[in-house]
Amino acid sequence: MAQFRLLCSIAAILGYTYASPIEKRRNFFKLHAEIPEELQQMRLRNPDRVEEITKYGMPQRDVVLKFKDFELSYDNRTRVANYVVEHLDCKRHKFHYIPPPIMEDNDSFSRDHRVQYASIPFDYFQSGFVKCHLAEKRNHSDSMDYLKGTYASTNIAPQNSELNCRGWSDLEFYARRMLWHYNDIYIFTGPLYCSKQNQMKYQVIGMNNVAVPTHFFKVIVGVLDCSLDLIVGCYIMPNEPIPDHVPLGYYRASWSDVQEKSGLTFLTGSDRPYNEDLPDIVEFRDTKRFFECFVQQPATKGPGWKLKE
């Protein structure tokens, strides 16, 4: 029995002696597996690392450009604006149907050097499309400085020539005509690139690959001093010839449809209620013809107009 106890004691001593170094090695790594001081300082200084990630800036494509009488957001990828914002007030524009001076295309349209990628007049040469002023030149023709801004390349988009001189021209006149009913009019205009048969296709023109929109939108917001509600009318027109006899109401679109197709959210700076009750004036084309025939004076070229590229 005494011998058995002696053997157990010897085994216990040998086991402890052998296991001790292993445990020490385990504890060694546990004690010394610390986070480096540099990482600790970085964690304390910038826990979410956002500032470090954006240290050299974020890529930018869209640019907001301010002109003297309107504002726009420009897309460097398509070489066309995302949207243009205009404000017409009753006192200034109600009876303002004076045509702008006649400009020479090669001299009047200018490259906007505030953006890196822009179209030039030659991009439109023999393209089958005309230069559409998204901020309509007649809305800004009471000042030569205002008018020059509408000829900047960032305000221009390729548009079907028949649409430009007929249906789209009617819609632009119609927006001004709303000043007979409202104190202020806010106009949002821009291109759309709509898919067809589950495919997105659009043409590009010129050496700068200027994107040709498949459609154009115009959102007209009427403001009355005596009413809290904003009155809205939205329109979408295809970039193709449209018949003269088709009423503008045919191209009326819902507020949500324009926002979905454009990816834009309008009136973000206002908490006023709105409704889509902008009136459809059927006889407005007669009014337009009246002003074109009897009110407009012969246009003249403005002095000192030529712009350099």
Q: How many CA atoms lie within 13 A of 16 on its CB side?
A: 6
Statement: residue 190 has pLDDT above 50: yes
113 is catalytic: no
Which amino acid, 22? I
Statement: residue 106 has pLDDT above 70: no
Residue 176 in contact with residue 139, Cβ under 8 Å? Answer: yes
Q: How far apart are CA 217 and CA 251, in angstroms?
A: 10
Catalytic one among 93, 133, 140, 215? 133
The string of pLDDT tens digits covering residues 205-238 is 999 999 999 999 999 999 998 888 999 999 999 9
Statement: residue 29 has pLDDT above 50: no
- Please compute the mean of the pLDDT values over residues 286-292 and round it to a whole number: 58
- DSSP track, 85-106: EEEEEHHHHTT--PPPPP--HH
pLDDT band at residue 302 using 50, 70 and 90 as cut-offs: very low
Kindly report the CA angle at 155 between 307 and 255, in degrees rounded to 5?
A: 165
Residue 261 in contact with residue 192, Cβ under 8 Å? Answer: yes
| Other Cβ atoms within 10 Å of 10 Cβ, number | 10
What is the reported pLDDT for 108? 81
- Contacts of residue 52, defined as CB under 8 A and 6 or more positions apart, other chains included, come to 42, 46
- Please compute the mean of the pLDDT values over residues 82-97 and round it to a whole number: 81
Q: How far apart are CA 9 and CA 110, in angstroms?
A: 100
Lowest-confidence segment of 111-115, 121-125, 275-279 by average pLDDT:
275-279
Beta bridge partners of 231: 222, 275
- Please compute the mean of the pLDDT values over residues 200-208 and round it to a whole number: 94
Q: Which two tokens stand for residue 71?
A: 């504002």
- Please compute the mean of the pLDDT values over residues 25-53 and round it to a whole number: 60
pLDDT band at residue 270 using 50, 70 and 90 as cut-offs: confident
What is the reported pLDDT for 308? 37
Lowest-confidence segment of 27-36, 86-95, 104-113 by average pLDDT:
27-36
Percentage of the chain exceeding pLDDT 70? 70
Statement: residue 99 has pLDDT above 50: yes
| Other Cβ atoms within 10 Å of 120 Cβ, number | 17
Residue 272 in contact with residue 73, Cβ under 8 Å? Answer: no
**64-295: CATH class:** alpha beta
Q: pTM for this one?
A: 0.76
Residue 164 is assigned to a ligand binding site: yes
Average pLDDT, the chain: 81
Q: How far apart are CA 230 and CA 62, in angstroms?
A: 28
Percentage of the chain exceeding pLDDT 90? 49
pLDDT band at residue 75 using 50, 70 and 90 as cut-offs: very high
CA 193 to chain centre: 12
- Contacts of residue 74, defined as CB under 8 A and 6 or more positions apart, other chains included, come to 62, 63, 64, 65, 80, 81, 82, 112, 115, 154
Which DSSP state fits 155? G
Q: How far apart are CA 108 and CA 154, in angstroms?
A: 13
Domain ranges of the chain: 64-295
Residue 86 in contact with residue 72, Cβ under 8 Å? Answer: no
